[in-house]
Structure 1
Amino acid sequence: MKTQKRVAFTTLGCKLNFSETSDIANQFEKAGYLRVEDEEPSDIFVINTCTVTELANKKSKQAIRKVINHNPKAIIVAVGCYTQLKPEEVARIDGIDLILGSDNKNAVVEEVEKITTKGTANLVINKLSKETPFVPSYSFGDRTRSFLKVQDGCDYYCSYCAIPNARGRSRNNSIELTVEKATEIVSKGVKEIILTGVNIGDFGKSTGETFFDLIKALEELPGLERLRISSIEPNLLTDEILERVSHSKVVVPHFHIPLQCGTNRLLQLMKRRYTTSLYQKKIETIKRLMPDACIAADVIVGIPGETEEEFEQTVQFIRSIDVSYLHIFTYSERENTLAVKMDQQVPVEIR
């Protein structure tokens, strides 16, 4: 009798990665593999990587090496954003067997089954293009709520960010197909769905629809009790969306709105698509419509060209707006971005 092969997973980075790992795991299970926890012995081990900062790169590399050390006989697979941007760097890790990029995650099972012996790093990396398809996914089985991927990629190309290079252009499924995925989730007994993506407010660009229309459609889904919106750009969080959420019995009034800095000069250098005035008005509108709403903001410290005075201006701006909590990051140099070529790089010890 043939022994059932075991597969384990480690995921780094954003909720989108967790959604995609869950989909990869489902593909393995459909192919007859047994999913086990990451601390258990396994025949195959898949690491879904992150590259949002240099620290994320290091953590991804450390995770790969840790898995190899603990599972020397297993087929070791690395996928995701770090592998998309740094495939040769990953290939130099002794013990890695298969390296797939962002666009190849859907082919993990197929590529694993081509491997007959360990000892060679097999690279399967496609160049991302406008034709790169959207691949839907959602997390299930390890949480009481599900992360539903509704959008992928980003067309914004902010000066400090490498994610468009790792994820490709903005794309999505139609509302009809997205609702079908949400219906699958609810049929499994899940009561809460979190909408995830790289730039979810950009939903609809590839199908001629809007994120507002998607929210309306999902609100009507029988059996869905809670719907959450993950991080959304302030210029894409329309008053129409806010009005809808304020009257909704399903959409949770929790907003994660990236700020990044509190001066217009730096926002322009970052190639952000809003001003401090627009950001402030969004916060005021939320609090007027939903006084008890929870609002999170992202802030980057030490962007090239930032002065002490501008840092203080950002601090004062944050104090002047009614946000609930912050995610604070130090600026991290990313290859092939505009910011890494800018003058007046802020010393690491000051960031």
Structure 2
Amino acid sequence: MIDTNVFQDKKAVYYTLGCKLNFAETSSIGKTLKEAGIRTVRKGEKADICVINTCSVTEVADKKCRQAIHRLSKEHPGAFIVVTGCYAQLKPEQIADIEGVDLVLGAEQKGELINYLGDLKKREHGEAVTTVAKDIRAFSPSCSRGDRTRYFLKVQDGCDYFCSYCTIPFARGRSRNGKIEDLVAQARQSALEGGKEIVLTGVNIGDFGKSTGENFYDLVKALDEVEGIERFRISSIEPNLLTDEIIEYVARSKRFMPHFHIPLQSGCDEVLKLMRRRYDTALFASKIHKIKELIPDAFIGVDVIVGTRGEIPEYFDRAYEFIKSLDVTQLHVFSYSERPGTQALNIDYVVSADEKHRRSQQLLALSEEKTRAFYARHIGKEAVVLMEKSKAGAPMHGFTDNYIRVELPHDDSLDNQLVRVRLGEFNEEGTALKGTILA
């Protein structure tokens, strides 16, 4: 049994890099530490504990993690520094050698971080305690919102796919998940806490059920019956796992929003084969067509990687034209980053950094064009917006059911409230539509 007396009057600062799943897990860690008597630092205070939850999807992510460790070590001198997350799982020795780091925890131990804090005594350089399990089996539940309006419910973790460019199966382990009854209970608790929207998160959520003999469709149906939660969103789902059954259910659902996020990665079949993805462009296009047929106003976000090994100019041009032809709303564009130990390193053709940048900019311009066109189609329409907290005096923002960002004048009473508005023109930054509250 851990002695929580050592934590009384202690303060912690949290820093998260990477995906929504990481943010959800950091929020849960913060909640656990708070229950043990450790409060979050206020502006201008020095922390006793720094928790850094890392990402390792690209070399840039690794670099940002190292920079965050150095920065927090300087900003909070003498603080007990804990590093966890994907980078910690993949490169624990590298992180342990960074000056100031006291504890390195892998994916298996992240959810039990408080049990590893000990007496919070600083270690000397090179003596950081490292606890990383190679075989990651545990599922650590998480449903929290941190400083956000929306809750993030972790339903699944890990991945069995082993795409040629990706280290996630090594960083997060094999696919595993919570039980439907437990996840429903977490959603109900979120409703009791005043939550109105929950985003389902995971690494490969369509693969839900591997460890419990259940399936994602049944999870969706069960969550749809949770009273008090007005909105559910599916964060990201593989196209081959997004069944017509799920699309049809969302189309008639009481609470699941007309909002999909689907990773494409490449719009060229030859590149998809090199990536070892489990679908082709024809299947992807059929999913987009099915969504738009049943839910014409659905928001569809798409992940794309540019400059992967083997993506010759002809393949990129083909991918660009395919993506241009899709009735999607927004592209999340990533430049390929070489990851040690991945099969992609065996592919000879390498795309230069300058060419990756050019391709990325070309797709980002296409994304902006598609998003603005989608927003413009909704000007003059009525919509219900869930408003999010903003800084005093700053405009407030929220999202419609189909994820259009809406701006309203600041009003604290609107925080976490569903507001009916009429959608107006773009704001000055072009990032949202201005709303007018309807009586």
**Shorter-chain TM band:** over 0.9
Contact 1:8 1:38 in 2 (8 A): no
Contact 1:50 1:80 in 2 (8 A): yes
Task: Return the structure number with greater strand share.
Answer: 2
Aligned to 1:121: 128
SS at structure 2 position matched to 1:255? strand
SS at structure 2 position matched to 1:258? strand
- Within a 5 Å distance, the mapping from 1:281-320 to structure 2 comes to 281-320=286-325
2:221 corresponds to 1:216: yes
Aligned to 1:175: 180
Structure 1 residue 238, shift from structure 2 partner: 0.4
Aligned to 1:160: 165
The alignment of Structure 1 onto Structure 2 pairs a total of residues equal to 349
Aligned to 1:92: 97
CA distance in 2 between partners of 1:39 and 1:213 (Å): 47
Residues 38, 63 of structure 1: alpha-carbon distance in 2 compared, 3 angstrom cutoff: farther
Structure 1 residue 144, shift from structure 2 partner: 1.2
CA distance in 2 between partners of 1:102 and 1:72 (Å): 27
CA distance in 2 between partners of 1:39 and 1:59 (Å): 23
- Within a 5 Å distance, the mapping from 1:193-212 to structure 2 comes to 193-212=198-217
Structure 1 residue 142, shift from structure 2 partner: 1.1
2:73 corresponds to 1:68: yes
Counterpart residue identity of residue 140, structure 2: V
Deviation track 1:65-96 (CA, whole Å, cap 9, x = no partner) reads 10001112110111110010011111121111
Which residue, out of 42, 47, 52, partners 2:57?
52
Q: TM-score, normalised by structure 2?
A: 0.77
Quote the RMSD (CA, aligned, Å): 1.4
SS at structure 2 position matched to 1:20? helix
CA distance in 2 between partners of 1:306 and 1:193 (Å): 37
CA distance in 1 between partners of 2:146 and 2:330 (Å): 29
- Within a 5 Å distance, the mapping from 1:252-331 to structure 2 comes to 252-331=257-336
2:240 corresponds to 1:245: no
Counterpart residue identity of residue 341, structure 1: N
Moved more, 63-72 or 3-12: 3-12
Aligned to 1:192: 197
CA distance in 2 between partners of 1:128 and 1:345 (Å): 33
Counterpart residue identity of residue 171, structure 1: R
CA distance in 2 between partners of 1:60 and 1:25 (Å): 19
Structure 1 residue 198, shift from structure 2 partner: 0.2
2:141 corresponds to 1:107: no
- Within a 5 Å distance, the mapping from 1:76-87 to structure 2 comes to 76-87=81-92
CA distance in 1 between partners of 2:43 and 2:236 (Å): 28
Deviation track 1:171-197 (CA, whole Å, cap 9, x = no partner) reads 001111111111111110000000000
Moved more, 286-295 or 115-124: 115-124
Structure 1 residue 37, shift from structure 2 partner: 4.5
Counterpart residue identity of residue 84, structure 1: Q
Structure 1 residue 265, shift from structure 2 partner: 1.2
CA distance in 2 between partners of 1:66 and 1:118 (Å): 18
Residues 287, 336 of structure 1: alpha-carbon distance in 2 compared, 3 angstrom cutoff: same
Deviation track 1:98-147 (CA, whole Å, cap 9, x = no partner) reads 11111111222121124433323111111124xx1111102234111100
Structure 1 residue 224, shift from structure 2 partner: 1.0
Runs of at least 4 residues of structure 1 off by over 4 A?
Answer: none
Structure 1 residue 38, shift from structure 2 partner: 7.3
Structure 1 residue 50, shift from structure 2 partner: 0.5
Contact 1:9 1:38 in 2 (8 A): no
Contact 2:197 2:229 in 1 (8 A): yes
Contact 2:224 2:255 in 1 (8 A): yes
Structure 1 residue 39, shift from structure 2 partner: 5.8
Identity of aligned residues (%): 54
